[in-house]
Chains A and B, each alone.
Chain A
Amino acid sequence: MSKKMSGRMARNILLVFLYTIIGLLAINLFHKEEEPNLKLESLRNKYAIKDSSSVDHSKFTELQKEFKSPQEVTLACLECHNETHKEIMASSHWNWERASYIEGRGIKSIGKKNIINNFCIGTEGNEQACSKCHIGYGMTGDQYDFNNKKNVDCMVCHDQSDEYIKGSAMAGYPARNVNLKKVARSVGNPTKSNCGACHFNGGGGNNVKHGDLETGTLGCTREVDVHMAGNGMDLECVDCHQTRHHNITGQLYSVSSNNINRATCEECHTTTPHMSELLNTHTAKVSCQACHIPVFAKVNATKMEWDWSQAGKLKDGKPYFEEDSMGNHSYMSIKGRFRWEKNVKPEYVWFNGNAKHYLLGDTIDDTKVVVLNQLLGSHDDPESKIIPVKVHRGNQIYDKKYKILIQPKLWAPNKGDSAYWKDFDWNKAAAAGMKTIGLPYSGEYGFVKTAMYWPVNHMVSPKEKSLSCSACHNRTDSRLAALTDFYLPGRDGHDLLDQIGKITIFMAIIGVIIHGAARIFSSLKLEQEEKRNGGSDN
């Protein structure tokens, strides 16, 4: 007996020992202290040291004079930087176009010069106003001399005095009150406000176009943008958009179409930035931006819809505007009706870095939404990743008969010059605009729905705010609900199988309940019978 007892005791001790080990192993497996991400630390250290300029332009004798024109400033710059204009003149910031290979179209020269968008539609015929964002002086029309080095605007990118501003509809010239001497003596490496002068304000106001680039990113918090945050790394645009010989990396797919010269997260963060292996495998198919930019337009709203067909209403014969609750224009007689949105959830598309574009004169199917810049890619393409995009939806003028989009003439200094913004006559504006670009106009115009895709790359959130797994891996409101060309665990399943499976489990439960109930019932009956039999025996 005691032998048996001690044997059992030994067994119990052994069992306790075993379970303790299993328990400890489980704790060790399931609980892990977060390890520091050394990759990120070394990046922080690297960018904590800010470059200081090796020269002080304010001391240069060439810049100690009063400048009568901005061209004089350019010539002063070129006295030392005497070959730099060639670099500028090779850039698309200057040329507003570049040679690109377009899927199915071959090599075309495209850019701001000749691409139609669904904001202010296009620059052609409106150069005097649009060239506020050209890095040159004097672009009044389509006969601009792109070889005149005097017209290169060095100041717009290099001014560090916060003094320089280009005038409205002044063909790219600075506003008249700009103190050119002060600007010239301040020049240095471009900062966020230099780039932002155009890239924040494209489309006629702050954050109209991008949604993720706006004045709100200047001196913002880490919640808005971890990279540009004033209380964070405070990076400049050119820290990521690295530039050599004035060739700035980064592509804007409203006007670009090729997977070249891009600025990517991976350059700094590599393709395996996470401590988790499982997350790192995502980087093959999911862009960093997709998870790390859960919303954009975090500070100010961005334009999501633009309906040109509503334009032209006048009050007492005069154009007017209305504002929405956030103080943005919701209606303008000259432009039509808009919808603005703040803290926007992006849409998601596959993208391999290449885009198709609507080119002037392309015929459209006016029964469908015309995509002006189709981002190319698919799940099966190994180069493609899922990226977040802002989709800007428009309703814009087209030629009903020829089925082509119309480039209207919008701007002119005076009335009676066919410009829509002065005369409010679409027919005249269409005829004048199409004449400028050398395409026919039938005289019949209508409005067609269009869409533009703007990849969202900025306003990266702190990692705590990045998307959780279930934002995409869920059945009911997955962020990737629109991307149906692959199986996504958690989102997808086989509906019929799921139904059959559930029914099978249900049937099994019902089956055992019935079987069990029948057993209880029959055993009770048997007991009764036995009792009765027993009774009769007596």
Chain B
Amino acid sequence: MKKVYIYKRFERFWHWSQASLIIFLMITGFEVHDTIHVFGFNNAVMYHRIAAYLLLGLIVFAIFWHFTTGEWHQYVPTAKKLKDQIRYYTIGIFRGGPHPTKKTALHKMNPLQVLTYLGFKLILIPIVVITGVLYMFHKHIDQNSIIVISSIPLSTIAIWHTFGAFLLVTFLVIHVYMTTTGETLTSNLKAMITGYEEFEAGEKEKIKTKSKSKKGDESFATG
């Protein structure tokens, strides 16, 4: 067994807080949409707002982290091995074939994941966040003359926000399932908790990385 250090501490913190916030926002959000009943409408509205502000704060940190650490490079899309990856999920996985790409600290995502998470970060999250902020500040002129965003009808904002929410739930379902497609059923999940992913001994492939010299045993699997 070899251990590879893939997810750094902030990354794990960010992932799990974002996950819990988004799930909480889903529950409260669909309660505001009157699809489910958990907290009661008024509590749901209040919780949804508080969680929204927390998520906004987290997103600011995450953006900062991505740029200062250069992690954003991970999300540069590539067509290389993309076909192989799709082939793996549709055919290879049923034949016990090997993963076409290997995880390392520098390439923690396969090309399909890169595309998915890039879409998640650049399209899906912006849709929900922007419509969400517009929703929160969509107020009418009242005697206090608070902020007025009434030129965009609330229905448009709400429909886009709901659209994003449905996509997020769909994403969540597939995302949770896909975590089971790692080396073992739980290896991806463990990696996101501990930071380390375990590989079967005898992995032969060697991937050049700088971190190898820095942290010998923590970097990645070697033959």
Contacts and interface: CB of A to CB of B under 8 A. Distances in A.
B143 A284 contact: yes
A526 interface: yes
A501 B158 contact: no
Contacts of B35: 498
A473 B153 CA distance: 18
A272 B177 CA distance: 49
Contact count band on B: 35 or more
Given A474-B34, A490-B32, A512-B174, A504 B47 contact: no
B173 interface: yes
Nearest to B9: A11
Contacts of B144: 271-272, 280
B170 A508 contact: yes
A367 to B, nearest CB: 33
B140 A382 contact: yes
A515 B158 contact: no
Contact of B93 (A382, A476, A489, A519): A519
Nearest to A285: B140
Interface residues of A, number: 44
Given A497-B162, A505-B169, A271 B143 contact: yes
A475 B140 contact: no
Given A470-B42, A508-B174, 20 more contacts: A281-B139, A284-B140, A469-B41, A473-B41, A487-B155, A489-B33, A491-B34, A493-B33, A493-B158, A497-B159, A497-B162, A498-B162, A501-B166, A504-B166, A504-B170, A505-B170, A512-B173, A512-B177, A515-B177, A516-B177
Contacts of A518: 94
Contacts of A470: 40-42
A501 B163 contact: yes
B56 interface: no
Interface in A457-515: 468-470, 473-476, 486-487, 489-494, 497-498, 500-502, 504-505, 508-509, 511-512, 515
Given A271-B142, A470-B41, A505 B174 contact: no
Interface string A511-538: 1100110110011001000000000000
Nearest to B170: A508
Contacts of A60: none
A505 B96 contact: no
Given A30-B50, A278-B45, A473-B41, A490 B139 contact: no
A494 B96 contact: no
B154 interface: yes
A319 B45 CA distance: 59
A519 B170 CA distance: 21
Contacts of A271: 142-144
Contacts of B207: none
A469 B41 CA distance: 6
Interface in A414-433: none
B146 interface: yes
A290 to B, nearest CB: 15
B141 interface: yes
B89 to A, nearest CB: 8
A249 interface: no
A509 B171 CA distance: 10
B208 interface: no
Given A508-B173, A522-B95, A489 B142 contact: no
A29 interface: yes
B46 interface: yes
B78 interface: no
Given A271-B143, A492-B158, A519 B173 contact: no
A493 B50 CA distance: 23
Contacts of B143: 271-272, 283-284
Contacts of A272: 143-144
Contact of B142 (A284, A474, A508): A284
B180 interface: yes
A502 B36 CA distance: 13
A469 B46 CA distance: 12
Contact of A497 (B42, B50, B166, B170): B166
